[in-house]
Amino acid sequence: MPAKIVETNDAPFNPVDIDPVSLDIIENALRNARVEMDATLFRTALSPGIREQGDAFPMIADAKGRMVVGQFGSFLDGFLRGYDGTIEEGDIILLNDPYACEGAVSHLSDQLVIAPVFFNGRLIAWGAMFGHMTDVGGKVPGSLPTDASSIFEEGMRLPPVKLYRKGELQEDILRIACNQSRMSEWYRADLHAVVAACKVAGRAVQEICERFGDDTLNAAMEQLLARNHRAMRELITTQIGEEKVSFEDYLCDDGRGAGPFKIKCTMWREGDKVILDFEGTDPQSDSSINFYLNENMFKMFFGIYMIMVFDPQVLVNDGFYDLVDVRIPEGSLLKPKFPAALSCRTHALGRIFDVLGALLGQKTPDFLNAAGFSSSPHLMFSGHDKTGEWFQLFQIGFGGIPGRPMGDGPDGHSLWPGFTNVPNEFLERYFPMIIERYESEPDSGGAGLHRGGNGINMVYRFTEAGTISIHDDRWFIPPWGVNGGEPGARSWKKLIRQDGSEQILGSKIDDVKVEAGDRLQYVTWGGGGWGDPLDRAPDLIELEIQQGLLTADGAKRYGVVVDADGKANPDATASLRAQIKADRGEAKLFDFGPTIEELRASCETDTGLKAPVQPVWRGAAKPVAAE
């Protein structure tokens, strides 16, 4: 049965006519409150994943649980359906079990805090936020075991519990949670910071009620949701056709030698509703790459993409959800059955954005994005320093963002626009490592009229012995290009021992022992290119060679020949471009590079790693398309 809301004032909200000026003030007050939530969190958290990188997602929702302002979509719908307890003034709920909230959070490292906001005894709103904790227990430091076969191996699993009950902190709950983490001090500080951010949201909403009245706030939220609904209905009916379009992409492997794993989505419109159907996606994996995709979360992904491409002024909220029908097959990679492992779901999450961009751009190629959101590279490094103190790093790395209709993809940027890197100075100050290199990887971005963003070439030198784990993708199947653009380069990792020996590492690997003096070279993928590379201006190629983003050899992919001084040779360039155009034929809408079977055949030569074998389900190999 659903959650029971305990109110001392259960009078319904009165209808209110709200003027445009008041609506604008309330909208901006809510937007600012969301920004204050982030500021509070980042100034009080301890872990670099939250404090430095911003791996946390806030929202403010109306009394029904619909997000009005936020970033990641509503966390509340699945929670409210699955929680059978009471909600009272002063309560604050903590949970991290994806199976207890229909995937509103999608792995155990994300701790979700939900705070109801009351005014004059009546529930008027919700503040909520989740943050990625550096460690929540489990079989490996960082709580993201590649080889986990069930969620029980991945750490502390909390159903919805009251961290605060009627305003009183439940110390026993906090002690139990902290006791599961290898980094209990960070966990405690980060959790308190998330709670503080939710309290900031509550105070801000109550201040709006004191100024305008709670009926006016409720009316304003309804109008903001309705405005989004109108805007999205217009976008859907004008930009999405009734004819079905499909696209599929692949996760490279599962970290246990199997792969690739297909994600397929078909999209069409019926009236003013869009349907997104994941039929044809591969069954769930035996490892931890499953992504329990909450339908409302994917609706938000869809809405954000539509709004950012077609009308960035529209406020992103939950108002349009009834216009989107998301269908995900039970037991698939995107809706695994309990107790499937979920800790390394980031790769599928990133690939969802590549698939979504391809779907929405097929009918209007001018709005098509290449691939390159793709994944979120992780590095974990842990051990004991010379004093015997435990250290533990969780760091998110960045790849190349795809070439886009409006220009080049950013070099070495995050999947999430609000994320930032952990400063190298911070890493060297607090962890036993030296960052010997942190730079763009030349030529890794796919060639195009708009170049795909380059990946990053990072070299870490460890000054203490410890253990590392790596979680990444796009090492086997490259990010594809569009509208004549070429695929980006693949990622790779290499461990260089102090004695000079070298070892190529897989993209998903745990428990790699390192010694002081060992170096890890960590190179991320480049984004796919957009548009015909032969149309890119030669003087821009010259500039990028000077900046170290391209090499002279890389310039030839654009049909540009440079002399020894780095200047484009006009005659040689014209000749090479004419030759390339004659040899290649018509430019492709999608350029995937080699087929999967061709990649398998060349994998060990090209990457130094064995090709993944076809996944097996129920004892029988399932065919994987070669295109």
**450: nearest Cα among 562, 529, 357, 349:** 529
Question: Using the 8-state DSSP alphabet, how is residue 96 labeled?
Answer: -
Distance between alpha carbon 52 and the CA centroid of its chain, in Å?
16
pLDDT at residue 71 in the model: 77
Strands 161-165 and 122-132: unpaired
Residues 541-567 have a mean pLDDT of 94
CB 472 within 8 A of CB 493: yes
User: 3-state SS string over 403-464?
Assistant: CECCECCCCCECCCCCCCCCCHHHHHHHCCEEEEEEEECCCCCCCCCECCCCCEEEEEEECC
90-104: average pLDDT: 94
Q: pLDDT per residue over 8-20, tens digit each?
A: 988 899 999 999 9
Using the predicted structure, report yes or no on whether residue 544 has a pLDDT greater than 60: yes
Beta strands 86-87 and 4-5, pairing class: parallel
- Which pLDDT score is estimated for 620? 46
Q: What is the mean pLDDT of residues 207-227?
A: 96
Q: What is the DSSP string of 303-351?
A: HHHHHHHH-TTSPP-GGGGGGEEEE--TTBTTBPPTT---TTTHHHHHH
More confident site: 418 or 341: 341
The pLDDT assigned to 622 comes to 54
Query: How far is 494 from 492, CA to CA, in rounded Å?
Result: 7
Q: Which of 192, 359, 362 is nearest to 275 (CA)?
A: 359
pLDDT for 367: 82
CB 503 within 8 A of CB 497: yes
pLDDT > 70? residue 481:
yes
Please tell me whether residue 262 adopts helix, strand or coil conformation: strand
Model pLDDT, residue 578: 94
Residue 374, amino acid: S
Q: What pLDDT was estimated at residue 1?
A: 57
Q: Give tens-digit pLDDT for 255-268.
A: 999 999 999 999 99
pLDDT tens by residue, 319-374: 999 999 999 999 999 999 999 999 999 999 999 989 998 998 888 888 888 998 87
What is the band of 306 on the pLDDT scale with cuts at 50, 70, 90? confident
Between CA 61 and CA 74 the distance in angstroms is 8
3-state secondary structure 537-591: CHHHHHHHHHCCCCCHHHHHHHCCCECCCCCECHHHHHHHHHHHHHHHCCCCCEE
Residue with tokens 């491409």: 309
Top mean-pLDDT range of 75-79, 99-103, 410-414, 535-539:
535-539
Going by the DSSP 8-state scheme, the letter that residue 473 receives in this structure is -
At residue 415, does pLDDT exceed 80?
A: no
Is 623 a residue whose pLDDT tops 50? no
